[in-house]
């Protein structure tokens, strides 16, 4: 399975989701490809936010080598499953993908924890460290649900 995690900047939420799901897949000996991207491209080439790196490392997950990139329409050719973190991300992804947009591949990440909720993973970008800790917890639980469902 090839999974793409998508948020706006690809520096706060989706790098955490990539790192956490990679860690769990490895522990379950699942040969999945897990990557992440952002819709706004504002942080292309940057490493994850220092607080995302910090909270991941506190759980033994090193995400510092990740590099932010903007998602593309061709991502729909590559990945089996594309998870968006929120409504605004879904909207922008549709615009970027154009005709390649495939409803069968895309879902709200949180729907794996709270089915049909279309709920958002809160964006910690505007807040303090508490926000990153809360987001880590949500992402961790949701990645457990993804592993249980698809392993």
Which residues have a catalytic role annotated?
A: 7, 13
C-alpha 60/C-alpha 58 separation (Å) is: 6
Q: What is the DSSP letter of 66?
A: -
70 near ligand 4NP (CB under 6 A): no
| Minimum CB distance to ligand 4NP smaller for 139 or for 146 | 139
Nearest to 66 by CA among 34, 90, 93, 28: 34
- 107 CB contacts (<8 Å, ≥6 apart)? 81, 82, 83, 84
DSSP 3-state assignment of 57? helix
**Minimum distance of ligand 4NP from residue 42's CB (angstroms):** 4
Question: Which residue stretch of 11-19, 69-77, 103-111, 140-148 sits at the interface with ligand 4NP (rule: CB under 6 A)?
Answer: 11-19
Phi, psi for 5 (deg, rounded to 5): -95, 130
| Minimum CB distance to ligand 4NP smaller for 125 or for 150 | 125
36 near ligand 4NP (CB under 6 A): no
Phi, psi for 70 (deg, rounded to 5): -85, 140
35 near ligand 4NP (CB under 6 A): no
CB atoms within 10 A of CB 65: 8
Among 7, 51, 90, 138, binds ligand 4NP (CB under 6 A): 7
| Minimum CB distance to ligand 4NP smaller for 11 or for 97 | 11
10 near ligand 4NP (CB under 6 A): yes
Could you give the strand order of the β-sheet that contains 81-84, starting from the edge strand earlier in sequence? 33-38, 2-7, 81-84, 106-108
150 near ligand 4NP (CB under 6 A): no
17 near ligand 4NP (CB under 6 A): no
Chain residues in the site for ligand 4NP (CB under 6 A): 7-13, 38, 40, 42, 123, 125
């Amino acid at each position: 399975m090839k999974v793409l995690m998508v948020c706006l900047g690809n520096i706060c939420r989706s790098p955490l989701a990539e790192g956490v799901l990679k860690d769990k897949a490895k522990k379950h000996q699942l040969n999945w490809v897990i990557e992440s991207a952002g819709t706004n491209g504002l942080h292309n080439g940057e490493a994850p936010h220092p607080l995302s790196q910090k909270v991941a490392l506190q759980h033994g997950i090193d995400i510092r080598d990740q590099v932010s990139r903007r998602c593309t329409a061709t991502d729909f050719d590559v990945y089996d499953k594309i998870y968006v973190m929120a409504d605004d991300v879904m909207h922008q992804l549709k615009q970027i993908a154009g005709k390649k947009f495939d409803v069968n591949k895309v879902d709200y990440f949180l729907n794996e924890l709270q089915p049909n909720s279309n709920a958002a993973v809160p964006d910690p970008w505007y807040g303090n460290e508490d926000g990153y800790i809360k987001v880590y917890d949500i992402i961790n639980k949701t990645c457990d649900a993804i592993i249980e469902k698809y392993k």
